[in-house]
Structure 1
Amino acid sequence: MPTENFMDILFSNWQHTLQPFGVDQVAAENAFNDLVTAYSTPERYYHTLKHIDRVLSTIEILQGYTNNLAAVQLAAWFHDVVYDTEAIDNEERSADYAFELLSNLGIPESIITTVTRLILNTKNHQAAVNDYDSQVLVDADLAILATNQVDYKEYAHAIRQEYGWVAEANYITNRQKILERFLQRSRIYFTPLMSEFAEPSARGNIQAEIQSLSPG
């Protein structure tokens, strides 16, 4: 359960992101409460507010690469707002959710268009060469792959819990395929900072997880 201090920090971040747009304080708080509810459902173990906080923290580190920092931050808040492990349209539904909520807050249409595009680009964790905002969001979303071994094991376990309905053999097969696809990419991360400093750790963690999933 998130602590009161953690929630205060998150809410402060939310307010800071909305500040340039002059959003009504009550409306901003109501929207924040909606997001908290969405990210706090019992079937979530990894895709929680803790994940959003980590993504936002990484974006802060990478903000120098962005063209539209506010849009990237807003996309971070919404990119997993709809998360159903039995569905294949989570990103599309998350983008729709963002469109509706941000429209109600009076966020400019140009910003909302960028936010929804960024969310959709997290589906396959890919970003075009000149799409620096997507690069930052995707790198922040995947930053967990390069974390220390203890946190990585916690992450891998949490993902398994979210797919608790999947039989063990099927989970192992599908998880290995996903992880191997990352290793087959020429680069996991797009921003120079993550590519240089996080890529080796991410590849090591992924290889270790694949090995841990293999029989014997």
Structure 2
Amino acid sequence: MSEILQKAENYVTDLLTNELNPDFLYHNLRHTQRVVENAKELIEHYELGTTKAEDLELAAWFHDTGYTKGVPNHEKNSCSISETFLNEHNLDGKRIQEISRLIMATERFYEPRGLDEEIIRDADASHLGQKSYIETSELLREELSRLGIGQYSSEEWRELNIEMFRTEHRFYTDYAIENWQPRKDKNLRKLVKAKKSRKKLAKKEQLKAKFKNESPERGIQTMFRVTMRNHLKLSDIADTKANILLSVNAIIISLVLANLIPKLDNPSNDYLIYPTAIFVLFSVISMIFAILATRPNVTSGQFTKKDVEEKKVNLLFFGNFHKMELPEYEWAIQELIKDKKFVYSSLTKDLYFLGVVLNTKYKLLRWTYTIFMIGMILSVIAFFVGLEFFGPERVLELPKVE
């Protein structure tokens, strides 16, 4: 690498790193380095002379430096920055003009004249023929949004890219056409495929939305589904709470039987009899209520043909059919699904009786917790009273009878 190229690289790297607005997500140092690398690839292929090759590389380094002064007229600003730098390093005036000409050749819609301008334009647009095009394109969309130049949705941006691929851009050099065009065509096919997929999805969603609007039954089904799920969750919660109390009371009674009751044989422990009795009594009562809250209630499990015809039976609850023969139940279900009102009536009954069961469960559960709480409080008070007034120390203090 020549000395002037090394200095230009250092200068541009520092300039774009420190003075470029960070909102330039695409037109930044990474883009410039990519253009330089692809320009070198083309220069090596066409075996250009040293001076021409150096001018192209310098143009590639400086072509986007004008963005440090803003978006408008950035090509001219890039020329101004390059001319100032190159004059300071005593580059020949004609070469400086050539480099400015090459920078201006990167202007949009410019039609190149000569191989060197074709090389700089192909290098500047080389990302169109690379695997990373989609990601690079998204960076450009985000850049335009941040800079307030344009707000594009994904669909709008895809459409603009497809239009640009088909009508605005083409590679000029034979090397780019041979090596980069196939990947560009593949990228275009990806965009078109994504567009078609999006159209199909949009059409499907439109039909689905139309179907939803025209069919209130979906809302009704959702209502039944959600309500049924909520009822079942509440039932599970009630059963869990009852099981917790059953376990706690079972542990308490086990401990009392193992540790406390054997001590009651000793006359000095008579003060423990009443507190222990209260403790055990309330624990047993709360266990009974907890068992009642979780005890299943199964009905007769049979129905008649008349019940089905008159729609008086809920075929969705197992308690109404578990004793029926399979053919009879299959017939009843066929009758059910023939009549939409019968279906909704059965679902309504199912919800209603679930609610009735839930009401019973939660009432029993409330009584269970209340009894358990009262029992614990009374037991503790009884233990303290017994210990204070009838404990071993009080027995010793009683006067002896002569």
Does TM, normalized by the shorter one, top 0.5?
yes
Aligned pair count? 191
Aligned to 1:156: 137
Instruction: Answer 1 or 2: which has greater helix percent.
Output: 2
Q: Deviations for 1:176-201, whole angstroms, at most 9, x for unmatched residues?
A: 4465244225x711111111121122
* Match for residue 24 of structure 2 among 44, 51, 60: 44
- Asked whether 1:146 is paired with 2:129, we answer yes
SS of equivalent to 1:82: helix
**Does structure 2 retain, via aligned residues, the 8 Å contact 1:38–1:82?**
no
* Match for residue 38 of structure 2 among 20, 37, 58: 58
Give RMSD over aligned pairs.
3.2
Provide the C-alpha distance between the structure 1 equivalents of 2:55 and 2:108, rounded to a whole number of angstroms: 19
* Match for residue 78 of structure 2 among 94, 99, 104: 94
Aligned to 1:11: none
2:106 partner amino acid: T
**Does structure 2 retain, via aligned residues, the 8 Å contact 1:44–1:162?**
yes
**Does structure 2 retain, via aligned residues, the 8 Å contact 1:17–1:73?**
no
**Does structure 2 retain, via aligned residues, the 8 Å contact 1:127–1:138?**
no
Provide the C-alpha distance between the structure 2 equivalents of 1:107 and 1:86, rounded to a whole number of angstroms: 27
Provide the C-alpha distance between the structure 2 equivalents of 1:210 and 1:60, rounded to a whole number of angstroms: 32
- Asked whether 1:189 is paired with 2:171, we answer yes
Aligned to 2:361: none
**Does structure 1 retain, via aligned residues, the 8 Å contact 2:9–2:61?**
no
Provide the C-alpha distance between the structure 2 equivalents of 1:115 and 1:138, rounded to a whole number of angstroms: 13
Instruction: Give TM-score scaled by structure 2 length.
Output: 0.42
Once the two structures are TM-superposed, the CA of residue 83 in structure 1 deviates from its matched residue by 2.3
**Does structure 1 retain, via aligned residues, the 8 Å contact 2:102–2:116?**
yes
Aligned to 2:63: 79
Aligned to 1:9: none
Aligned to 1:201: 183
1:77 partner amino acid: W
**Does structure 1 retain, via aligned residues, the 8 Å contact 2:59–2:99?**
yes
Change (3 A) 1:19 1:119: closer
Q: Deviations for 1:47-81, whole angstroms, at most 9, x for unmatched residues?
A: 22211221111112111434511111011111111
Over alpha carbons, which structure has the higher Rg? 2
Provide the C-alpha distance between the structure 1 equivalents of 2:186 and 2:12, rounded to a whole number of angstroms: 39
* Match for residue 119 of structure 2 among 136, 158, 172: 136
Instruction: Give TM-score scaled by structure 1 length.
Output: 0.73
Provide the C-alpha distance between the structure 1 equivalents of 2:180 and 2:143, rounded to a whole number of angstroms: 25
Change (3 A) 1:84 1:179: farther
Provide the C-alpha distance between the structure 1 equivalents of 2:9 and 2:16, rounded to a whole number of angstroms: 11
Once the two structures are TM-superposed, the CA of residue 86 in structure 1 deviates from its matched residue by 7.5
**Does structure 2 retain, via aligned residues, the 8 Å contact 1:118–1:134?**
yes
Change (3 A) 1:87 1:205: same
Once the two structures are TM-superposed, the CA of residue 98 in structure 1 deviates from its matched residue by 1.3
Once the two structures are TM-superposed, the CA of residue 207 in structure 1 deviates from its matched residue by 4.9
SS of equivalent to 2:25: coil
Provide the C-alpha distance between the structure 1 equivalents of 2:189 and 2:110, rounded to a whole number of angstroms: 20
**Does structure 1 retain, via aligned residues, the 8 Å contact 2:55–2:99?**
yes
Once the two structures are TM-superposed, the CA of residue 145 in structure 1 deviates from its matched residue by 0.5
Once the two structures are TM-superposed, the CA of residue 163 in structure 1 deviates from its matched residue by 0.9
- Asked whether 1:33 is paired with 2:10, we answer no
**RCO greater where, 1 or 2, for CA within 8 Å and sep 6 or more?**
1
Provide the C-alpha distance between the structure 2 equivalents of 1:173 and 1:34, rounded to a whole number of angstroms: 33
Where structure 1 has 5 or more consecutive residues not aligned to the other structure, the ranges are 1-15
> What is the percentage of aligned positions where both structures have the same residue?
23
Once the two structures are TM-superposed, the CA of residue 139 in structure 1 deviates from its matched residue by 0.8
1:56 partner amino acid: V
2:83 partner amino acid: F
**Does structure 1 retain, via aligned residues, the 8 Å contact 2:16–2:28?**
no
**Does structure 2 retain, via aligned residues, the 8 Å contact 1:75–1:115?**
yes
Alignment of 1:120-135 (within 5 A): 120-124=104-108, 126-129=110-113, 131-135=114-118
